[in-house]
Amino acid sequence: MPRSPPRRIVEGGSEAGRQLPTAVPVWVRLNQNRIQDPIGTLRLLEAEGMTFCAARNAHGCGPGKCSRPDCPLVHLYLFADQ
């Protein structure tokens, strides 16, 4: 499994008039999936070296961007809502 976020052309991701690929996390929505131990699952992801963001900042995080300075591999939007 890749350990770095994918890159794609996103709005505002340009330099000197050229659009350049920007790292963006994969947007995953797993809320209401009856995951028994969501906190334990997040710990397991961390132990495996998978970076993630809970995407709780609606102004900074979305399918095409992350508010964190280091772009994670995955956005786990509403993951804690089981």
Amino acid 33: pLDDT: 94
2-48 pLDDT per residue, tens: 567 777 776 655 555 667 777 888 889 899 999 999 999 999 999 99
Instruction: Report the pLDDT value the prediction gives residue 64, as an integer from 0 to 100.
Output: 82
Residue 24's Cβ-side half-sphere holds a number of Cα atoms within 13 Å equal to 19
Between CA 61 and CA 79 the distance in angstroms is 14
- The alpha helices in the chain, defined as continuous H runs, are 38-47
- pLDDT value of position 42: 93
The pTM of this model reads 0.71
Give dist(CA 48, CA 5) in Å, integer. 15
Question: Residue 59 pLDDT > 90, yes or no?
Answer: no
